[in-house]
Amino acid sequence: MDNTAVASVRVLAPAGMLGAGFPDLTIERGLELGADVISVDGGSTDSGPHYLGSSQPKTTRAAVARDLRVLLKAAARADIPLIVGSCGTSGTDNGVDWVAGIVADLLAEEGLDLRVARIYSEQDAGRLKERLAAGHIRPLPPMGELRPETLDDCTHIVGMMGHEPIVAALEAGAQVVLAGRATDTAVAAAYPLMKGMPAGPTWHASKIVECGGQCTSNPREGGVLATIDAGGFTIEPLHPEVSCTPISVAAHMLYETVNPFRMREPDGTLDVAEATYTALDDRRVRVEGSRFHVAEQHTVKLEGARITGYQTMSFSAVRDPHILAHIEDWAALLREVLTERVEQTLGLGADSYAFDVRLYGHNAVLGENDPAQGPPREVGVMLLVNAPDQATATAVAKIANPLMLHLPTRDMDHLPSLAFATSPAETERGPAYEFVLHHAVDSITPTDMFRIEIEESAHHG
């Protein structure tokens, strides 16, 4: 990769998530504006621990392939790198290989010859236990100290890379970089940092573009272009009819952040407390004054998920006004009778499985914190059972079946028949996971926890 100094770097951020889609004209527009690199995030923890725990993508292959086809052709035509972070949603090795397989098929179909790098971020529990024992892993709020058994319990552990492994892959000649778990910002920051752009504006711009068009007046009409230079950065929507305003750009620092002024990266901390946002015209915003404080110790954040049990779900519904008027009592009776029947039939005490009864339409979402009062018109009753194995979870849900069909309130003298949504009523959900790691490892070097593999195509041999 050409590493000569430049005055500015233009980062094309096509979408907040690979597979989310974008108008193809916005990519054309980005190339016309002189994009130097295309950066897109391929993952997130936002949809829960299942995707890391099971190492399965949230996005469907066809949607990822559609976006990648447009981006690979654009990158090849403009001769600029394409960087994808957190491949396969969670950034596991399997996720990187899944995206790499799609890329290989597309390159063959389109007759393109691009050098592809894979960066693996999955971590070995044994190696991490050594680092823990040596005092090099610390909890991040609100977590407590890490126990070594927790590492063993995880089905998958990833480390969140910063820009450094991506820069290493680009410097080794990669034209397409498929990264495992990476910070959302590192995906966009890597190329500008490699080209010598200042850290403050680069990391700040990277945070602003990480959700594509979220910082614009119309997030559904494609992404943005960030132009980073020595004094700051300028942000511009790719769609000509969409605009950025100082408020829309500044407000994006609030999105999904705990602290809107300071964000920790592996290499240090972005500080935007003194940043200024100025309208250049009615759709472009100039940002200056962003700072980056390099940390004394480079750190890599860990993510890990473990299996908590196996789940079975059942769903019925109540429309009868009498039951609805006493819905809390009815649910209490359901819990009571189900617990008794499970003890009586399966011989299981309440401590060897767990279930949740959720009253959708009443207070399922907010529970006791719900500020609203009053009887609902109808209520969906979801039963979610968690047990050490799938057969037990399903057995409990099946024992609940006649209750979710016929349970009356305590004062009724007949058996109602309630409204099951499906037949069979029970759905086996497989293993259930939880995130258990939110800890930082003191890195030995910024790249040593990540493995880079670069495919040599025939033409590059």
Partner 1 sequence: MAEKGPTTLADLSLEVRSKNAGPFWVTMELFLRDAEAYRIAADEAFLDERTIARLYGVDPDGVQIFRIPALNVVKISFPRPVSQASLRDRDVHSGQHHVPLAALPVPSV
| By the rule CB under 8 A, 158 interacts with partner 1 | no
Minimum distance between the CB of residue 10 and partner 1, rounded to whole angstroms? 27
376-405: which residues touch partner 1 (CB under 8 A)?
A: 384, 386
* Pairing state between β 37-43 and 8-13: parallel
Q: In this complex, which beta carbon is closest to partner 1, that of residue 23 or of residue 260? A: 260
Mark residues 309-348: x for contact with partner 1 by CB under 8 A, - for none: --x-------------------------------------
Interface segment toward partner 1; rule CB under 8 A; list 30-38, 79-87, 91-99, 354-362: 354-362
Q: State phi, psi for 449 to the nearest 5 degrees.
A: -90, 5
Residues 6+ apart with CB under 8 A from 269: 262, 263, 292, 293, 295
| By the rule CB under 8 A, 374 interacts with partner 1 | no
Structure-block tokens of residue 396: 């409990």
Listed residue (114, 115, 111, 122) closest to 88, CA to CA: 122
Q: In this complex, which beta carbon is closest to partner 1, that of residue 7 or of residue 258? A: 258
| By the rule CB under 8 A, 259 interacts with partner 1 | yes
31-60: which residues touch partner 1 (CB under 8 A)?
A: 45-50
Among 366, 373, 423, 458, binds partner 1 (CB under 8 A): 366
Q: Name beta bridge partners: 442.
A: 299
Interface segment toward partner 1; rule CB under 8 A; list 224-232, 342-350, 404-412, 431-439: 431-439
Minimum distance between the CB of residue 236 and partner 1, rounded to whole angstroms? 21
Mark residues 273-312: x for contact with partner 1 by CB under 8 A, - for none: ------------------------------x----x--x-
Among 365, 391, 415, 444, binds partner 1 (CB under 8 A): 365
Q: In this complex, which beta carbon is closest to partner 1, that of residue 330 or of residue 433? A: 433
- For the chain, report the end-to-end CA distance as a whole number of angstroms: 16
Identify whether the C-beta of residue 270 lies closer than 8 Å to the C-beta of residue 261: no
Residues 6+ apart with CB under 8 A from 385: 311, 312, 313, 314, 353, 354, 355, 393, 394, 396, 397, 400
Listed residue (55, 45, 131) closest to 93, CA to CA: 55
Interface segment toward partner 1; rule CB under 8 A; list 110-118, 124-132, 138-146, 236-244: 138-146
| By the rule CB under 8 A, 435 interacts with partner 1 | yes
Integer Cα distance of 80 and 75 in angstroms: 5
Q: In this complex, which beta carbon is closest to partner 1, that of residue 261 or of residue 406? A: 261
Identify whether the C-beta of residue 202 lies closer than 8 Å to the C-beta of residue 185: no
Structure-block tokens of residue 215: 């910082």
Integer Cα distance of 322 and 340 in angstroms: 25
Q: In this complex, which beta carbon is closest to partner 1, that of residue 36 or of residue 41? A: 41
Mark residues 218-247: x for contact with partner 1 by CB under 8 A, - for none: -----------------------------x
Q: Which residues bind partner 1 (CB under 8 A)?
A: 45-50, 141-143, 247, 250-251, 254-261, 303, 308, 311, 354-356, 358, 364-372, 384, 386, 432-435, 438
